[in-house]
Structure 1
Amino acid sequence: MADGWEDIDEDTYYFDKKTHVAATGWTNTDQYTDDEKKKIKEFKSNVSKLVKFEKDDYKKDEKPDEKETQKLEELADKFGEKTFNAYDRKVYEKFGGAVFYQYYFYSDHTLCTGFHKINGYYFYFDEETGKKATGWKTIDGKRYYFGLTGAAAVGEFEEGEDKKYTFSNEGVLADGIVKIDAEWKFKKEDGSWAKSEFVTSKGETYYIGEDEAALTGWHTIEDKLYHFDNDGKLSKGLFSDDSGLYYIDKNGAQKDKWVTAGDKTYYFDGDGKAVSGWREIDGTDFYFDSDHVLQNEWTTIDGKKYFLQNGVALRGPVYIDDKYYNFGEDGYLKSGWVSWRGQKFYNNKNGTVVTGWKKIGGKRYYFNDYGMMLINTTVDGYNINNDGVAHKAK
């Protein structure tokens, strides 16, 4: 029968040496050092004393004298608010003495390694041995304090008169931006909290409000519009929500400006929103699709075909891919008669310009090499009148 440590299929187990039952939960397999025994014993004794002292739970003949009362008051200070001792006490009172055990096994009896959250507290177990960490530790470049119980400290702590510590919800010692409870805050190098200012941490920009918490959502700061995500990070570049599409940089949402992002061009109006559809800008009409992107080349809009250059519809006669079209005064392609700057043209069904002779509605017309209908002239023995209609010369 198995007893002690056993490796099975790359997982580690521990079997009680008497019952041979595989361990689960907190388990102690190693002997404590004399120093560890002393610290744990003293801690338990101090907590027991404080509980009695706080409840004044003494029999008449057990009441502490003045000297003993002073010692208990000093002990209470050591376990006071924002002390590591007070935090360890909370953990101890929640888990009981088992929290001082050095190993933890999952419900499937396998050894716990790495970070693990147990009943709301984070613990760290060595990746190789599974032994619980205590005290100060640096893990993956981040500092933690696990205390005597091994539970990672979270929140704010004070040590003596000049040492103050802040740990994130995951137990990381604050250095720059840190999440405390439901708020993101920024710890400066001098130990103070940022307030009413922009800060940068790990490449991300935040704005810390008057309450020392990072702003989220839309905010106007010094007359500039900014958006911050749920973690307080400044939204940068293209950003969209239910209200529209925006482009945000360190100067806030761009307003009344052209912006090129990648290979796409946008225009943002006075509210900072990207425009769509036809929009007159500085006296020129531009077209943007439903994704707010400035359009180019062939584009169908409301059933009409346009050719756009930098969002502007071409008008009049133009060559495209070696074909000759005339978009007329309106700027969209159509067949039949087209007017351009006082001249008449005629387009085929595909929008290309007719040149030479063309019979239209039973009448003959002549269009020169540029597609313009000729009037009041003679061509190939035909007299062309003021309406452009040709008749055989007599």
Structure 2
Amino acid sequence: MRKMTKAVTFCAAAALLTMGASMTSYAAWQQEGGEWIYTDNSGSMVRDSWRQSGNYWFYLGYDGYMVRDQWIDDTYYVNEDGARLTNQWVYVDEGTYDAPNSDGGWFYLEGDGQVATDGWRTINGQRYHFDSDGTMDYGWLNDEDELYYLGDENDGAMKTGWLCLDFDPDDVPDDGDVSMVLNYGDNGTWFYFQTNGQAVRAEEDDYVRRTINGYRYYFDENGAMVTGWAAVGDPEEGDATGISTLKYFGGADEGQMATGWRYLYDNPEDSEDDNYDFSFSVATGSEWDGGDGDGAWYYFDNSGVPAYLNSNATTLSEATTSVNGQRYFFDQYGQMQSGLLGIGLPDGTIVSAYFGADDSDGAMKRERQTNVYDDDGERGTYYFNGSGENRGAGYSGDRNGYLYYNGKLVEAEEGEDFQVFEVDGQLYLVNEAGRIQDSNRTYRVNGEYYYEYDEGTIYRINDDRERLYEVTSADARRLPSISYRDIYYL
């Protein structure tokens, strides 16, 4: 702010010279004892009044002498040459008894010489606010239920746009308090002041959204830009943890509402928002494991709501989220999950679903997949449904001549050549590669005749290829087990 400087003294000196030059030509102005007086037509001294000389006004005091360097009626100010100042800033030290406010501060004298009071003024293109005494306001200002920031005590100009300030939400500043201006990276609090100087802020215990330069931001009741995880929305049906109330707004110097994919080290549990009640869903059965400092992938829709496992889902399709034509699995806390997962359906069955290795994109895998590792590190081949309501679920039965159970390829044990397995009530004879044997012939195990397949029926035979008995469910080998990374119950 350009306040009163040496230029003011220069102008005042010029006023005195002008007055001196002009006073010699006006009989009414006279000098007495080195001081100026003004006499009326009767020759009497004029007292407690203004008189003009040239372009300047001067004040005659109670004794008739011209007043210098003094406030007049708490409204005007005359400089050391006696000239009334106009369109000038004046700084008053604390304790100046004749000033409009003895507490001191900056005052502005308008075009008519009166001190600006009670409201806003535009001065040299900047907006300033003055109290009822004319003192320039600074720091924080609440005016007609709107919040402004006016800089420090030597500034006072109304701020607009983004401003980063040192701010403690537990010790909200009062009117006139000054907050230190910080820079990007100083871990300050960002505020946005509109072109009219009003801070964007919400009602008490609420948030308000604003789109600024194409980005969506939220602000709290103090006008502080929201960062991190914040509960700015209402819970959706089927949200077991409150995750749908949250949106993510980045670090201290970001604030843009997240959309699309984000890899975050900040987790919902880390939210400092008192409006968010972090809860654990017993129904889904998966304990929170995101608080160990590891990062996780999240996906936010165009409204900023993170994808999550809906507790109303009853199928694998309903339990996954479609993003750009691919389906992904997010847990009840919004974290994308990869690897081989078990999905517990309402009927009590558990189906397999595979979302790629840890270093993959996490998209649901379909049809035949090789080199799939379960949670025990065992590698296997799997087949997952390619379409339909159970798209992505592990397939059970004959697929292209191979036997699968809950997605996993069923193979005879190494060295056994052929074994019988039962899947969904059907008996199958398979070799060590998992291929189903359905040719009407006999089969050897370890060099000896052991099985015969005949029109869908499997017989146990001796080395002379004589049928001993028909193979039943009791003769079937145990199906392979699957070790899931985690099981989620719908």
TM-score, L = length of structure 1: 0.51
Q: Which residue of 1 aligns with 2:426?
A: none
Judged with a 3 Å threshold, the aligned counterparts in structure 2 of structure 1 residues 374 and 185 are, in CA distance, closer, same or farther, namely farther
Q: Does 1:390 align with 2:394?
A: yes
Q: State how 1:181-196 maps to structure 2 within 5 Å.
A: 183-196=74-87
Find the residue that maps to 1:253 and give its secondary structure: coil
CA distance in structure 2 between the partners assigned to 1:374 and 1:205 by the alignment:
71
Q: Does 1:281 align with 2:177?
A: no
Judged with a 3 Å threshold, the aligned counterparts in structure 2 of structure 1 residues 246 and 293 are, in CA distance, closer, same or farther, namely same
Q: State how 1:122-271 maps to structure 2 within 5 Å.
A: 157-159=61-63, 163-164=66-67, 174=70, 178=71, 180=73, 183-202=74-93, 204-216=105-117, 217-249=119-151, 250=155, 252-255=157-160, 257-262=161-166, 263-271=188-196
Residue type matched to 2:222 in 1? D
Q: Which residue of 1 aligns with 2:321?
A: 338
Measure how far apart 1:352 and its partner are: 2.4
From 289, 302, 306, the equivalent of 2:247 is 306
8 Å Cα contact 2:47-2:60 kept in structure 1: no
Q: Which residue of 2 aligns with 1:365?
A: 353
Residue type matched to 2:221 in 1? S
Find the residue that maps to 2:362 and give its secondary structure: coil
8 Å Cα contact 2:47-2:63 kept in structure 1: no
CA distance in structure 2 between the partners assigned to 1:237 and 1:339 by the alignment:
50
Question: What stretches of structure 2 of length at least 5 have no aligned partner?
Answer: 1-42, 50-58, 94-103, 167-187, 202-207, 235-244, 266-292, 310-319, 373-379, 397-401, 404-490
Measure how far apart 1:259 and its partner are: 1.0
Measure how far apart 1:284 and its partner are: 1.4
Measure how far apart 1:323 and its partner are: 4.1
From 272, 280, 300, the equivalent of 1:328 is 300
CA distance in structure 2 between the partners assigned to 1:179 and 1:352 by the alignment:
71
Higher strand share: 1
Structure whose CA Rg is larger: 2
8 Å Cα contact 1:157-1:165 kept in structure 2: no
CA distance in structure 2 between the partners assigned to 1:389 and 1:179 by the alignment:
89
8 Å Cα contact 1:325-1:347 kept in structure 2: no
Show CA shifts across 1:203-249 (max 9, x none).
Answer: 73222123322112122334433211222122223322224112235
8 Å Cα contact 1:328-1:340 kept in structure 2: no
CA distance in structure 2 between the partners assigned to 1:189 and 1:343 by the alignment:
81
CA distance in structure 2 between the partners assigned to 1:179 and 1:305 by the alignment:
60
Q: Does 1:374 align with 2:299?
A: no
Identity %: 23
Measure how far apart 1:265 and its partner are: 1.1
CA distance in structure 2 between the partners assigned to 1:335 and 1:244 by the alignment:
38
Residue type matched to 1:252 in 2? A
Residue type matched to 1:188 in 2? N
Show CA shifts across 1:281-301 (max 9, x none).
Answer: 111112211211111112110
Measure how far apart 1:302 and its partner are: 2.0
Greater relative contact order (Cα 8 A, min sep 6): structure 1 or 2? 2
Judged with a 3 Å threshold, the aligned counterparts in structure 2 of structure 1 residues 232 and 338 are, in CA distance, closer, same or farther, namely farther
Question: Number of matched residues?
Answer: 233
8 Å Cα contact 1:355-1:367 kept in structure 2: yes
CA distance in structure 2 between the partners assigned to 1:375 and 1:306 by the alignment:
31
Measure how far apart 1:351 and its partner are: 2.3
Judged with a 3 Å threshold, the aligned counterparts in structure 2 of structure 1 residues 229 and 81 are, in CA distance, closer, same or farther, namely same
CA distance in structure 2 between the partners assigned to 1:179 and 1:261 by the alignment:
39
CA distance in structure 2 between the partners assigned to 1:199 and 1:293 by the alignment:
34
RMSD of aligned C-alpha atoms? 3.2
Q: Which residue of 1 aligns with 2:338?
A: 355
TM-score, L = length of structure 2: 0.42
Question: What stretches of structure 1 of length at least 5 have no aligned partner?
Answer: 1-75, 84-154, 167-173
CA distance in structure 2 between the partners assigned to 1:199 and 1:266 by the alignment:
31
CA distance in structure 1 between the partners assigned to 2:307 and 2:363 by the alignment:
16
8 Å Cα contact 2:68-2:79 kept in structure 1: no
Judged with a 3 Å threshold, the aligned counterparts in structure 2 of structure 1 residues 266 and 390 are, in CA distance, closer, same or farther, namely same
Judged with a 3 Å threshold, the aligned counterparts in structure 2 of structure 1 residues 375 and 290 are, in CA distance, closer, same or farther, namely farther
CA distance in structure 2 between the partners assigned to 1:289 and 1:389 by the alignment:
44
Higher helix share: 1
CA distance in structure 2 between the partners assigned to 1:383 and 1:179 by the alignment:
94
CA distance in structure 1 between the partners assigned to 2:196 and 2:335 by the alignment:
42
